[in-house]
């Protein structure tokens, strides 16, 4: 397997298709490819013509191609993937309440859509496909998590469906993305104008990751993958009450109760996955346990103990109130997320430990 000194070099002179390419991750990944990786072309595949128009105004580059299409449409996906080298599958219905209220639609997009991406990629001889997953797919209690768990299973087993073809499938799994569309931060910023912030439960914790770190994880996954793995970053946790204090320390905190399908804490690995999970170059990798998979990479990896779980409330890395405030509003040394894309965690020992692990090649 060919390895690259710079993980982004794998995309040099290659054609990359991004489903859901106009979303928060898709746009940031696109910018990273254009500025760091010298791709031949990037195909943005999404169903919203307005978002594509807005993205076209934001990013002026001749290497971008815009495809109107839905992941529910296998024929359109197959046409869009012709000649593509790599695919990043980011399209999904992601809002927990929306999926609970519209379960059939969630299944069509998140499960049937995953199946369509797999079939189209195999038929189009795409080399590698990575699907974005979520911590909500581990021991799911809501429909969104259940559909993403099913999608993960489909992508992993897609390697068996590929047969003698060279197409390989893997997943990345991470937590909430800071300042992404639908994030709680914009809600808190709006609520602070009235002096009252609403939280569902003061005990709640969440994994958080920046868009830069999510992109870096994708770069690593494309380089390491043999097909069938789930790649999980080491990321910090935060307490929702600490985020509220960081955004508006003088505001009244109103507890409104946990919503349907919501957990107090999230997990990035399940207990039953521990026997197949390794620690490798600063990330966790869940290896497939199927007869078709033969391990040739991950030399020097560390096996994890039976029963290992990686949960947001038992994490070693935590964001402090001050770090959360700096992420949102910035300080004298750097700007916050609503001005530019920042580096994250520059002060504490935990922060330095995290950055060091995340930046390993």
* CB atoms near residue 160 (< 10 Å): 15
Q: Which domain holds residue 304?
A: 10-358
Domain assignment present for 4: no
Buried b (16+ CB within 10 A) or exposed e, 177-204: bbbbeeebbeebeebbeeeebebebeeb
CATH code at 113? 3.40.50.720
pLDDT band at 2 (very low <50, low <70, confident <90, very high): low
pTM for the structure as a whole? 0.89
At 218-240, the pLDDT tens digits run 999 999 999 999 999 999 999 99
Is 90 exceeded by the pLDDT of residue 357? no
Q: Kindly state the average pLDDT of the residues 279-286.
A: 95
Is 70 exceeded by the pLDDT of residue 39? yes
Q: Which residues are catalytic?
A: 136
Domain total in the chain: 1
Is 60 exceeded by the pLDDT of residue 341? no
Domain assignment present for 3: no
Domain assignment present for 101: yes
Domain assignment present for 1: no
Domain assignment present for 2: no
Domain assignment present for 127: yes
Domain assignment present for 63: yes
At 132-176, the pLDDT tens digits run 999 999 999 999 999 999 999 999 999 999 999 999 999 999 998
HEC profile for 255-291?
ECCCCCCCCCCCEEECHHHHHHEEEECCEEEECCCCC
Higher pLDDT, 348 or 85: 85
Confidence at residue 356, expressed as pLDDT on a 0 to 100 scale? 39
Lowest mean pLDDT: which of 40-49, 145-154, 302-311, 343-352?
343-352
At 72-103, the pLDDT tens digits run 999 999 999 999 999 999 999 999 989 999 99
Confidence at residue 328, expressed as pLDDT on a 0 to 100 scale? 87
Domain assignment present for 343: yes
Higher pLDDT, 134 or 184: 134
Q: Residue 221, class by beta-carbon neighbours within 10 Å (0-12 exposed, 13-18 middle, 19+ buried)?
A: buried
Is 70 exceeded by the pLDDT of residue 352? no
DSSP symbol at 13? T
């Amino acid at each position: 397997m060919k390895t690259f000194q710079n993980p982004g070099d794998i995309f040099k002179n290659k054609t990359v298709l991004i489903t859901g390419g106009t979303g928060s991750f898709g746009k940031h990944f696109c910018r990273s490819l254009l500025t760091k990786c010298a791709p031949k072309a990037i195909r943005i595949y999404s169903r919203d013509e307005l978002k594509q128009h807005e993205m076209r105004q934001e990013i002026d580059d001749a290497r971008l191609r815009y495809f109107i299409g839905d992941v529910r449409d296998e024929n359109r996906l197959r046409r869009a993937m012709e000649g593509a080298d790599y695919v990043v599958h980011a399209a999904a219905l992601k809002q927990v309440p929306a999926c609970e209220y519209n379960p059939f639609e969630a299944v069509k997009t998140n499960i049937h859509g995953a199946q369509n991406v797999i079939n189209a990629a195999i038929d189009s001889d795409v080399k590698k496909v990575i699907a974005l997953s979520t911590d909500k797919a581990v021991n799911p209690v809501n429909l969104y998590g259940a559909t993403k768990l099913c999608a993960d299973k489909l992508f992993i087993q897609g390697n068996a469906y590929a047969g003698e073809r060279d197409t390989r499938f893997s997943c990345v799994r991470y937590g909430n993305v800071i300042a992404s569309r639908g994030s709680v931060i914009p809600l808190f910023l709006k609520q602070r104008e009235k002096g009252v912030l609403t939280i569902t439960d003061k005990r709640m914790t969440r994994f958080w990751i920046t868009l830069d770190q999510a992109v870096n994880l994708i770069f690593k996954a494309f380089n390491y993958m043999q097909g069938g793995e789930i790649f999980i970053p080491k990321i910090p946790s935060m307490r929702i009450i600490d985020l509220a204090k960081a955004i508006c320390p003088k505001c009244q905190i109103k507890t409104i109760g946990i919503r349907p399908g919501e957990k107090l804490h999230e997990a990035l690995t399940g207990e039953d996955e521990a026997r197949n999970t390794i620690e490798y170059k600063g990330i966790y990798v869940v290896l497939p346990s199927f007869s078709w998979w033969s391990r040739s990479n991950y030399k020097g990896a560390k096996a994890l103990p039976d029963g290992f779980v990686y949960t947001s409330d038992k994490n070693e890395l935590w964001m402090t109130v001050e770090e959360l405030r700096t992420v949102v509003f910035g300080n004298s040394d750097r700007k916050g997320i609503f001005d530019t894309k920042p580096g994250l965690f520059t002060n504490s020992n935990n922060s330095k430990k995290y950055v060091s692990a995340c930046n390993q090649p």
